[in-house]
Structure 1
Amino acid sequence: MAPTAPLANGLYVKDLAQSPDLKSVPSEFTFANDSKGSNSDTLPVVDFSMLVSDNADQRSKALLDLAKACEDWGFFVLINHGIPETLMEAIIDASLEFFDLPEDEKRYEAKSASDPVKSGTGTANAANHKILLWRDFVKSYVHPRFYCPDKPRRLRDIVSEYSERSRSVLRELLQGISENLELEAGSMDETLNLDSCFQLYAANFYPPCPEPDLTIGIPPHTDHGLLTFLIHNGVAGLQIQHKGEWFHTNSPKNSILVNTADHLEIFSNGRYKSVKHRAVVNTEATRISVVLANGPAPEVVVSPSVELVKRDGRALYGPMKYIEYVETMLSNRYDGKGNLECLKIQ
């Protein structure tokens, strides 16, 4: 039978899942969870090539699609973004290589939430006790300062290139969002210091689970930052909440799943909502996802846009330094009021 305290025995979830005697989920992983979700064929799609097109009609159509996606779903599938498919496959493969490393080569124990590289098996707080999540992870800050695990050696160059190319996509999307919000040209860039935007790389490894309805990969949560980019190995598992219901996300190969995050909600003074989402697991296949969280510069104190506050008559959110917000979230508070709720002005 599988050990009842896998972390105490130095095991990652990957090791636990490969145990030939594993027939059920150890009690430490039990999470009250209904993983059922509906399929939706209406998940918005934004064509990046049209957004950057010189054709005024195409760009206008893409801006409209982007506005509706941010307003209605807070989530969209980004296609024709220009990031090479070979690079996207490489970062998935190199991340998978990380999880295949011996334990002593892949363990980065965080002494504090501000440590720039961390890895391990996830935990969450639920019903006043800590539970283990059915996933292993690695996270590192990659911009404006770059950090990365030492192995596999090729991971550093791949993550660096992916984050650089993603920043170009991010800036174009935020420019479109700024136009849709009718902000003065350059005001978002300047206010949030996007030249020094914060990026966090995270890879999540979800092995097959014998009882997927009794545990969870990542509980429902929202993200820090402005926009989150997610790619995966083709195995489904990300669900998003829309109008109180959970929906499966389906995305074509070489697309990027993008969601609006907490600091876009704050900056837009509530016009665009940060979207709750979760990761569920399955019995059949390993899922790996690579996430790039994109936020303002670390030292920026984020509050609603001055222009939007003037229009609305008041700010709906209080100010907070971005890096402090990030580190509070990384300290792993899944229960109780999160930062976003605490910053809302009643």
Structure 2
Amino acid sequence: MAPTASDVSNQTTLIDDSAYVKVLAESSTLKSVPSQFAYATNDSKGSYSDSIPIIDFSLITCADSEQRSKALKDLARACEEWGFFVLINHGIPETVMKNIIDASLEFFELPEEEKRRYEPRSASDPIKSGTGSVLNVANQRIHLWRDYVKSYVHPEFHSPHKPQILREIVAEYSERSRPVLRSLLQAISENLGLEQGYIDDVLKLDSCFQLYAANYYPPCPEPDQAIGIPPHTDHGLLTFLIHNGVAGLQIQHNGKWFNTNSPQNSILVNTADHLEIFSNGRYKSVKHRAVVNSEATRISVVIANGPAPDVIVNPAAPLVERDDGRALYLPMKFIEYVETMLSNRLEGKGNLECLKISPGPEDQ
């Protein structure tokens, strides 16, 4: 039987891996972070920067060659210098974006027995729901201050059966996001000097992989003593993130943590592991994390976008040729990378480091 709010408030040291954080946070007697969640984030305040690039999608796709050329240069700088940018004028209706936030919240408000239908049994499960934990450097298991639901939505569509509105809106949002993804990747390919259509053919973008993930971060009594998601990079090419207006995502830039502040109806986009691999290291997959607060619930919705599941991702051959024939990353089938990453619960460790090819003695 799942613990109740009163149970977890009185027995916080007995919480198991499957206990939902929402239940714990709703306890009226919760005054401190239970020991299982202890994750000191002394630098969690982060800094604010006006330098996070803003990319106008309408200019990337416009017919005015001068405006488009400038937009492409801005996109290249964003990918090279930050690995993150705020995308505006992307054409996805604001109502669709609001609806997917609201529908995701409805899922988290379902009875626990319904959510537990999707407790992960293996990394290959197409639908997963739960909370989560990581192992720190001292081999201690740390619970995360967040609940989640994830599902593969393309090229095959999967979604929880309830609420029904979630299935409908996730399908619509993912469908509307794919042309945006394709145009951004075509622009990135152009910036990399690749032939038109190269990225589509090599990565099989008609069958691109998309994963929907919604994260629920309830108020935390001691936000500096817990973490929503620790520092990590993402699998895939580009990640799209929207939220309910409550801040919490921080990105690492030049060794410092910066708060992100994306305006309403914009999408926060970041370059991910497979764009770093494909570009042979020209564009970096940047670490980011989710911090929590004591005031308001934060909901974020992510669409992780990758190549087709069966594609073996290598550095692009023309880019390797320009680098004196040296590929900086080993090849790996995309879906195997995803499933390995989803099963990796060691903080700060990812597949990307394992795929980097160390320079030989003659290169040092």
Percent identity over paired residues: 74
1:130 aligns with 2:141: yes
- Cα contact 1:221–1:277 (8 A) shared by 2: yes
Amino acid at match of 1:321: K
**Residue pairs, 1:127-276, within 5 angstroms:** 127-276=138-287
| Distance (whole Å) between structure 1 residues aligned to residue 199 and residue 20 of structure 2 | 42
1:312 aligns with 2:332: no
Match of 1:110 among 91, 103, 120: 120
| Distance (whole Å) between structure 2 residues aligned to residue 118 and residue 22 of structure 1 | 28
Counterpart of 2:81 in structure 1 is 72
Compute the displacement of 1:123 (Å). 1.1
| Distance (whole Å) between structure 2 residues aligned to residue 169 and residue 192 of structure 1 | 16
Can you list the C-alpha shifts for 1:264-303, whole angstroms capped at 9, x where unaligned? 0000000000010000000000000000000010010001
Counterpart of 2:5 in structure 1 is none
Can you list the C-alpha shifts for 1:300-321, whole angstroms capped at 9, x where unaligned? 0001000000000110001000
- Cα contact 1:224–1:263 (8 A) shared by 2: yes
Q: TM-score, normalised by structure 1?
A: 0.98
Task: Classify 1:5/1:143 alpha carbon distance in 2 versus 1 (closer, same or farther; 3 Å).
Answer: farther
| Distance (whole Å) between structure 1 residues aligned to residue 305 and residue 14 of structure 2 | 33
Q: TM-score, normalised by structure 2?
A: 0.93
1:287 aligns with 2:298: yes
Match of 2:40 among 28, 32, 42: 32
Match of 1:15 among 23, 37, 42: 23
| Distance (whole Å) between structure 2 residues aligned to residue 295 and residue 231 of structure 1 | 18
| Distance (whole Å) between structure 2 residues aligned to residue 300 and residue 38 of structure 1 | 39
Compute the displacement of 1:6 (Å). 6.0
| Distance (whole Å) between structure 2 residues aligned to residue 9 and residue 118 of structure 1 | 14
Can you list the C-alpha shifts for 1:128-163, whole angstroms capped at 9, x where unaligned? 121110000000000000000011011111000100
Counterpart of 2:335 in structure 1 is 323
| Distance (whole Å) between structure 2 residues aligned to residue 36 and residue 3 of structure 1 | 30
Question: 4+ residue runs of structure 1 moved beyond 6 angstroms?
Answer: none
- Cα contact 1:2–1:26 (8 A) shared by 2: no
- Cα contact 2:134–2:141 (8 A) shared by 1: yes
What secondary structure sits across from 2:182 in the alignment?
helix
Counterpart of 2:4 in structure 1 is none
| Distance (whole Å) between structure 2 residues aligned to residue 321 and residue 30 of structure 1 | 36
Match of 2:346 among 292, 317, 334: 334
Amino acid at match of 1:8: D
CA RMSD of aligned residues (A): 1.2
Structure 2 residues without counterparts, runs of 5 or longer: 1-8, 359-364
Amino acid at match of 1:112: S
- Cα contact 2:273–2:284 (8 A) shared by 1: yes
Compute the displacement of 1:86 (Å). 0.1
- Cα contact 2:17–2:132 (8 A) shared by 1: no
- Cα contact 2:133–2:345 (8 A) shared by 1: no
| Distance (whole Å) between structure 1 residues aligned to residue 332 and residue 198 of structure 2 | 19
Compute the displacement of 1:337 (Å). 4.1
| Distance (whole Å) between structure 1 residues aligned to residue 332 and residue 12 of structure 2 | 41
Task: Classify 1:2/1:287 alpha carbon distance in 2 versus 1 (closer, same or farther; 3 Å).
Answer: farther
Compute the displacement of 1:7 (Å). 4.2
| Distance (whole Å) between structure 2 residues aligned to residue 11 and residue 342 of structure 1 | 32
- Cα contact 1:317–1:345 (8 A) shared by 2: yes
| Distance (whole Å) between structure 1 residues aligned to residue 227 and residue 36 of structure 2 | 12
11-20 or 139-148, which moves further after superposition?
Answer: 11-20
Can you list the C-alpha shifts for 1:204-237, whole angstroms capped at 9, x where unaligned? 0000000000010000000000000000000000
Amino acid at match of 1:77: V
| Distance (whole Å) between structure 2 residues aligned to residue 333 and residue 318 of structure 1 | 22
What secondary structure sits across from 1:159 in the alignment?
helix
Task: Classify 1:98/1:121 alpha carbon distance in 2 versus 1 (closer, same or farther; 3 Å).
Answer: same
Compute the displacement of 1:2 (Å). 3.9
What secondary structure sits across from 1:173 in the alignment?
helix
Amino acid at match of 1:256: I
Match of 2:56 among 47, 60, 70: 47
- Cα contact 1:239–1:246 (8 A) shared by 2: yes
- Cα contact 2:344–2:350 (8 A) shared by 1: no
Compute the displacement of 1:3 (Å). 2.5
| Distance (whole Å) between structure 1 residues aligned to residue 76 and residue 344 of structure 2 | 32
- Cα contact 1:47–1:80 (8 A) shared by 2: yes
Compute the displacement of 1:8 (Å). 3.2
- Cα contact 2:241–2:303 (8 A) shared by 1: yes
| Distance (whole Å) between structure 2 residues aligned to residue 293 and residue 325 of structure 1 | 13
Amino acid at match of 1:79: I
Number of positions where the alignment pairs a residue of Structure 1 with one of Structure 2: 346
